[in-house]
Structure 1
Amino acid sequence: MKIISYNVNGIRSASTKNFFCWLQSTDADMVCMQEVKALPVQIPEIIALIEQLGYHHYWFPAEKKGYSGVAILTKIKPNHVEYGCGEEWIDMEGRILRADFDTFSLMSVYLPSGSSGDERQVKKYAFMKFFDGYIDDLRKEHPNLIISGDYNICHTSMDIHNPKSNANSSGFLPEEREWMELFLNRGFIDTFRHFNKDPHNYTWWSFRANSRAKNLGWRIDYHLATVPMLERLKRVIILPDAIHSDHCPVLLELNPA
C-alpha cells in the first residue's frame, strides 16, 4: 500500500503543473494533501480528474478562502471520516482530517506556521499543546494511527540546511524541536528516519535564492506512525523531483496487515 503526503500549496496551482499526470504515475492508494486552498465547489474540473483516477475524496477546507485546508484521496473507501478536531479555531482553519480503515487510521494534518509573526507563533504553540491531548485521547480508540502532513517543524539539525543561521527561525526553535521530540517519545515513529539516517533530505525549499536547485531546504513534512504500525512499515522516500509546490511529496509504503 502506497500513501503520499504532499503540501500542494494550492491544488489549483499544482494542477497546472501536471500534478494529476504525476499522481497517476505514482499509483498511490491514498494521498494526504495540505494547503489545498480551495473548496470542492470551486474546482469541479479537478474533482472530476480525481474521480477519474479512482479516488474517493474528502475535503476539510478553511473558512477563509484561498487559505490552508486539508484533504484525503483514497482508492479504499473508509469506514468513517472525521472532519476536524472539535477545537473551533483549528477547525476554522481546516487543519485536521482523519479517515478510518479496517486496520489503521490515517490523518492529514497541517500545523500552523509561525513565520509571519509573534501572533501566529503563539497560535502554533496553542495548536501543539492541544494536539498532544487530542492525539493521546484518539490513540485509545485508534491505536494504529498514521499522522501525515506538514508539521512546519524541523526535528533535528540534520533536517535543515543551515541550523546555526536558523537557530531563531520559526520551525527550528528549541521549543518546537523539543515538542517534536516529546511527541515522538510518546509512542510515534518518524518513519523516514526509521529507514534513512542521512543528512540533506528535505521536503520544503524557499522560493528565494534558487534554494531548491541548491538543496537548501527544510524537512518539515512527515509520516508519523504509532509504534503498533512498526511491522507494517516497508519503506519511506522523499520525492524531490516532483515539482508542483514549494514542498515535495513523501511516500510511505506499508506491508499487508
Structure 2
Amino acid sequence: MRVITFNAQGIEQATDNGFFDWMVQQDADVVCIQDLRAKEYQLDDERYHPEGYYPYFFDAWEDGYSGVAIYSRDIPKAIMTGLGFELCDQHGRFIQADFEHVSVSSFCVPSGLKSEEAQAEKEQFMTDFMGHLNKTLRKRREFIFCGTTHIAHKPVDLSNWYANQTVSGFLPQEREWMAEIFDEMGYVDAFRQINKAERQFSWWPDYNRARKLNEGARLDYQITTANLRKNVKNAQVYRDEMFSEHAPLIIDYEI
C-alpha cells in the first residue's frame, strides 16, 4: 500500500505546477492533501479529478483556512470528517477514510508563525488533537495519520536548529508534544522508521536558494499505530519537482 501526503498551500496553484500529473504516475493507493484553500464546489473541473481516483473533501467554513482531501484508488468503507472541536471542524483540518485493514487520515495542524494569537490557536489544536490520538489507541484497528504538524521533531529535522529554538515550529512545548506522541504513546514516525539520514526536509522557505541549499525543516509526517512499525517498507521525500513550499512524502507499507 503506497500512501502519499502533501501540503498544497492552495490546490489550484499546486495543480498549475503539475501536482496531479505527477500524482497519477506514482501508483499510490491513497493520497492525502492539506491546505486546499478552496471549497469542494470550486474543484469540479476534471483537472482536480484524475482518472482512477475517488476524491473526498472536507472544507473550511470560511475562506482562507485549510481544507483537506483524500484521493483513494478504492472506495473506502466509510469517510469521517472533523473531530468535534472548533479549530478542526470550522477550519477543515481532518478527514479520515476507513479501509478493510487500516484507516488513513489527512490532517493539518495550524501554523503559529503569524502572531502570538496564531501560536495560541496552534497549541489549543495540539491539545485537542492529542485527545483524539489517545482515544484512537483504544480502537481495534490500525491507523495512519498523514499531514503537516508545522513542527520539526528533533534538531536533525531542522536546519540551523540552534537559532530557531524560540521560533514557532521548534519551541520546547511543541517538541515535547511530538515526543509524547512517539515516545510515550507509542505511535510511529513512519519516515524515521526507515530513513535515519540527516537533512531530510519536507519544507523550505519561499525562495529558491533555500531549496537548492536544502535549508529547511521536516514538517510533514505519516504517524502510524505501533503495530504498523514493521510494515513500513520504503520512505522518501520527493524533491525533483516543486509543487508548493512543501514536498510530497511517499511511504510504502506492507498492508
In the superposition, relative to structure 1, how do residues 52 and 246 fare at CA in structure 2: closer, same or farther (>3 Å)?
A: closer
Which stretch of structure 1 is more off in the superposition, 48-57 or 234-243? Answer: 48-57
Deviations 1:195-238 (A, max 9, x none): 11111110000014721111100001001111111232111111
Equivalenced residues, count: 254
Amino acid at match of 1:229: L
Which stretch of structure 1 is more off in the superposition, 87-96 or 111-120? Answer: 87-96
Alpha carbons 1:154, 1:160 under 8 Å: kept: yes
**Structure 1 segments unaligned to the other structure (5+ residues):** none
Alpha carbons 1:242, 1:249 under 8 Å: kept: no
Instruction: Please give the secondary structure, in 2, of the residue aligned with 1:217.
Output: coil
| Inter-partner Cα distance in structure 1 for 2:34 and 2:49 | 19
Match of 1:250 in 2: 249
What are the equivalent positions in structure 2 for 1:227-246 lying under 5 Å apart?
227-246=226-245
Structure 1 runs, 4 residues or longer, greater than 6 Å off: none
1:213 aligns with 2:232: no
Alpha carbons 2:101, 2:141 under 8 Å: kept: no
How does the TM-score come out when normalised to structure 1? 0.95
* RMSD across aligned positions (CA): 1.3
How far residue 50 of structure 1 moved from its aligned partner, in angstroms, is 4.6
| Inter-partner Cα distance in structure 2 for 1:180 and 1:203 | 17
1:30 aligns with 2:30: yes
The one of 142, 145, 169 equivalent to 1:144 is: 142
Amino acid at match of 1:77: I
Match of 1:127 in 2: 125
Match of 1:16 in 2: 16
In the superposition, relative to structure 1, how do residues 149 and 129 fare at CA in structure 2: closer, same or farther (>3 Å)?
A: same
Identity, % of aligned pairs?
Answer: 35
Which stretch of structure 1 is more off in the superposition, 209-218 or 73-82? Answer: 209-218
Match of 1:168 in 2: 166
How does the TM-score come out when normalised to structure 2? 0.96
In the superposition, relative to structure 1, how do residues 212 and 58 fare at CA in structure 2: closer, same or farther (>3 Å)?
A: same
| Inter-partner Cα distance in structure 2 for 1:114 and 1:51 | 32
**Structure 2 segments unaligned to the other structure (5+ residues):** none
Alpha carbons 2:87, 2:121 under 8 Å: kept: no
How far residue 244 of structure 1 moved from its aligned partner, in angstroms, is 0.5
